[in-house]
Amino acid sequence: MEIISNPTQDEIKKAAKALKDGHLVAFPTETVYGLGADAINEKAVSRIYSVKSRPTDHPLIVHISSINQLYKWAIDIPDYAIKLAKEFWPGPMTLILKRSNLAKDFITGGQGNVGVRVPMNPIALALLSEFEKLNGLGIAAPSANRFGGVSSTTAEAVVDELAMFLGNKDLILDGGKSLIGVESSIIDCTAITPAVLRPGAVTEKMINSITNLPLVFNTKSTQVKASGLLDSHYSPKAKVILNVTPKPGEGFIAMADIPTPNGAIRLASPATIKEFSHVLYSSLRQADQTNINVISVTLPKSGGLGDAIIDRLNRAKS
Ligand code: TXA
Ligand code: MG
């Protein structure tokens, strides 16, 4: 495995070629780091599952460079989904749509739907467009962490999580810390009205304002299998407790205006909700690295990006 920091155009070309040759490339996105493979190469995609130790019936998101590629992967796309794609791509939003023949069972976990997203990070977009120049059709990429664990928001985190499972031709592109820090919003667009399966930085309000349709919250959906929707996920080794005063020696994460209780170890004091999502996963990781056993988090206010943070913390809690 090779780590490439702030990759040049030539190094991104090399990474696209590695993908085309069936190797894995971890890359930065604006949400979290992804562990990428050529989405039509079954053998390469199967390595994602073994590296992550992820059950094979959990579907993967296909990353594409622009809305033009969407029609290759999905069919019967409703008008409201096109509107959302035009408005929020590139960006932190995944659309679940009826799959085309290109989206095989090894991508969709055997479901009739496929998840597609155009990420916003410049390295991710450059990688996608170089990959397409090599006739690549899409990059399958889950978050670059072991199954059930905390997503990676830095290349160092990817190394900690996955380096020992990667092969010597696999690559990690280091593009610094992920801007947003929590995973994309997942919007199910397979019914006549949209449903939020996973809240993210594209918020309920933003979706409403574009579609003018009622929006269902379905983060406990039983129709679609989505690992990020499991009750337990995104968990550090430390025990996560919510809205409980920490004891001395325990970790503490809360908005900056909330003082640190006596003896607690302050892991993060975000001043804004945006900063909260930006630092959340790295502060959970920091706790594990410093052998803190319990992390107490004071939940932010609900609404907007706060919903995404609350959703992840409820799944991270023990
Ligand atoms: O921000 C993100 O979405 C990141 C970056 C790398 O793009 N990716 C990510 O992937 O979070 P992953 O695999 O860790 O989480 C994607 C979630 C999973 O819960 C998966 O089951 C669900 O999306 N998903 C993917 N395809 C789906 C489908 N066809 N139907 C329902 N859920 C799907
Ligand atoms: Mg994940």
Which residue, by CA, sits nearest to atom 22 of ligand 1? 226
Which pLDDT score is estimated for 221?
55
Q: Does ligand 1 come within 6 angstroms of the Cβ of 60?
A: yes
Give me the sign of the Cα torsion angle 296, 267, 301, 262: positive
Distances (CA, A) of 3 to 11, 165, 192, 277, 285: 11, 14, 44, 25, 20
Which pLDDT score is estimated for 151?
97
Which pLDDT score is estimated for 216?
83
Please write the tens of the pLDDT for every residue from 256-277.
999 999 999 999 999 999 999 9
Which pLDDT score is estimated for 144?
98
Q: In angstroms, what is the C-alpha Rg of the chain?
A: 19
Region 218-225: what's the mean pLDDT?
60
- Close Cβ partners of 88 (under 8 Å, ≥ 6 residues apart): 202, 206, 210
Question: Given a cut of 60, is residue 223 above it in pLDDT?
Answer: no
Bond preceding residue 90 cis, omega within 30 of 0: yes
Question: Given a cut of 90, is residue 229 above it in pLDDT?
Answer: no
Which position has the token pair 């995944």?
Answer: 94
Region 212-230: what's the mean pLDDT?
69
What are the respective helix, strand and coil percentages of the chain, to the nearest 5?
35, 20, 45
Please write the tens of the pLDDT for every residue from 108-131.
999 999 999 999 999 999 999 999
Question: Given a cut of 60, is residue 227 above it in pLDDT?
Answer: no
The best mutation among 35, 139, 146, 183 to test binding of ligand 1, ranked by most ligand atoms within 8 Å of the C-beta, falls on 183
Which pLDDT score is estimated for 231?
66
Q: Does ligand 1 come within 6 angstroms of the Cβ of 246?
A: no
Work out the percent of the chain whose per-residue pLDDT is above 70: 95
Rounded CA-CA distance 218/271 in Å is 30
Query: Which of 218, 198, 217, 215 has its CA nearest to residue 207?
Result: 215
What integer best gives the mean pLDDT of the chain?
Answer: 95
How open is the CA angle 278-67-184, to the nearest 5 degrees? 20
Which pLDDT score is estimated for 101?
98
Question: Given a cut of 90, is residue 225 above it in pLDDT?
Answer: no
How open is the CA angle 143-54-219, to the nearest 5 degrees? 65
Which residue, by CA, sits nearest to atom 6 of ligand 1? 34
Contacts of range 259-265, beta carbons closer than 8 Å, 24 or more positions apart: 264/296, 265/290, 265/292
Q: Does ligand 1 come within 6 angstroms of the Cβ of 221?
A: no
Rounded CA-CA distance 115/185 in Å is 11
Query: Which of 194, 29, 38 has its CA nearest to residue 107?
Result: 38
Which pLDDT score is estimated for 309?
98
Q: Does ligand 1 come within 6 angstroms of the Cβ of 150?
A: no
Which pLDDT score is estimated for 15?
98
Helix axes 204-211, 79-88, angle to 10 degrees: 120
Which pLDDT score is estimated for 180?
98
Find the range with the poorest average confidence among 5-14, 49-58, 68-77, 94-103: 49-58
Task: Compute CA 302 distance to the chain's CA centroid, rounded to the nearest angstrom.
Answer: 20
